[in-house]
Amino acid sequence: MSIKLVVLISGSGSNLQAILDACRDQVLPAEVVAVISSKADAFGLIRAQSAGVKAIYFQKLEGEARRDYDARLANEVAGLNADYVVLAGWLRLLTSAFLERFSERVINLHPALPGTFPGLHAIESAYAAFQRGEIKGSGVMVHLVPDEGVDNGPVLATQEISFRAGETLEQFEARVHDVEHKLLVETLKNLISNRAQAL
């Protein structure tokens, strides 16, 4: 039986694309059953449609409280029978109203190492710290999301990335994304294989 993934996005979806390609190429023994976006114009929705995957814009209702949105979202995801929920550039903080429904099954990708640069603009912040001579490297992490902590939780995988002398932010950013695409797929592959062995 194929593992079912639901991928939550808010933007370009290049990490989603890496997952879709890995499923198509059978590198990842999984199926993306739906892509859900918090933004109507997220390019990731087009990527999903192009791959023949259900693409859902999950709109916040007028005046809706965060927990109510999350509870509705949880119902939607539960209806898709997802084994794992992958946050790949999902720009909304998820509350326990969502997370408690999918314990140990929500996976987040963060473009920095554990405990560093949580929240938005992690790549830019790391690059700025490098420019100030404060750090020599940064990295990427994939982790479980147990609670409402931002970009924090049990680490599944990390990869360090050293800065290169004279590289621009754009060059560094491209390297980070490249690492993200590979690390996310690799981590999902390991999770799925460990799960199969445990059964």
Catalytic residues: 110
Which two structure tokens, joined as six digits, stand for 173?
């950013």
Q: Is 180 in the site for ligand GRF (CB under 6 A)?
A: yes
Q: Detail the DSSP E strand segments found in the chain.
A: 3-9, 30-37, 54-57, 84-87, 106-110, 137-144, 155-162
Q: Is 153 in the site for ligand GRF (CB under 6 A)?
A: no
By CB under 6 A, the count of residues binding ligand GRF is 13
CB closer to ligand GRF, 13 vs 81: 13
* Binding track, positions 92-131, relative to ligand GRF; x by CB under 6 A: -----------------xxx--------------------
3-32 positions binding ligand GRF, by CB under 6 A: 9, 11-16
Q: State in angstroms the smallest separation of the CB of 196 from ligand GRF.
A: 26
Question: By C-alpha distance, which of 56, 46, 41 is closest to 20?
Answer: 46
8 Å CB contact between 130 and 138: yes
Q: State in angstroms the smallest separation of the CB of 156 from ligand GRF.
A: 14
Paired residues of 142 in beta bridges: 109, 157
Give the residue, chosen from 3, 6, 34, 89, that forms a contact with ligand GRF under the rule CB under 6 A: 89
Return d(Cα 4, Cα 64) in angstroms, integer: 29
Return d(Cα 165, Cα 168) in angstroms, integer: 9
Question: By C-alpha distance, which of 146, 177, 143, 139 is closest to 157?
Answer: 143
Q: State in angstroms the smallest separation of the CB of 181 from ligand GRF.
A: 8
Q: State in angstroms the smallest separation of the CB of 80 from ligand GRF.
A: 20
Q: State in angstroms the smallest separation of the CB of 104 from ligand GRF.
A: 20
Q: Is 139 in the site for ligand GRF (CB under 6 A)?
A: no
Q: Which backbone phi and psi does 60 adopt, to 5 degrees?
A: -75, 135
DSSP state of 11: S
Which two structure tokens, joined as six digits, stand for 63?
């005046």
Per CB under 6 A, residues contacting ligand GRF are 9, 11-16, 88-89, 109-111, 180
